[in-house]
Amino acid sequence: MERLRVFPGVYAPREDSFLLEECVERYANGKVLDLGTGTGIQGIIAALKDCKVTFVDINPEAIRCARANAAANRISGEFVISDMFENVDGRYDTIIFNPPYVPTDKIEELSTDGGKDGRFLIDRFWNEFKEHLMEHYTVMVLESSLNGYESDVGRLGAEVAAVRDFDFEKIVVLKVSG
Give, for all 178 residues of the chain, the pLDDT tens digit.
777 999 999 999 999 999 999 999 999 999 999 999 999 999 999 999 999 999 999 999 999 999 999 999 999 999 999 999 999 999 999 999 998 766 566 655 555 555 566 677 888 899 999 999 999 999 999 988 887 888 888 889 899 999 999 888 899 999 999 9
Domain residues for the domain of 165 are: 15-177
Element housing 128 (H / E): helix 120-128
In a domain, 3, yes or no: no
In a domain, 9, yes or no: no
pTM, full prediction:
0.91
Euclidean distance between CA atoms 153 and 129, whole angstroms: 16
Strand ranges of the sheet holding 170-177, from the earlier edge strand across to the other edge: 78-81, 52-57, 31-35, 92-97, 133-144, 170-177, 159-165
CATH of the domain at 118: 3.40.50.150
Q: Which residues pair with 33 in a beta bridge?
A: 54, 95
**Structurally, how many domains does the chain consist of?**
1
- Residues 6 or more apart whose Cβ sits within 8 Å of residue 61: 7, 8, 9, 10
> Residue 32: what are its φ and ψ, rounded to 5°?
-120, 135
In a domain, 73, yes or no: yes
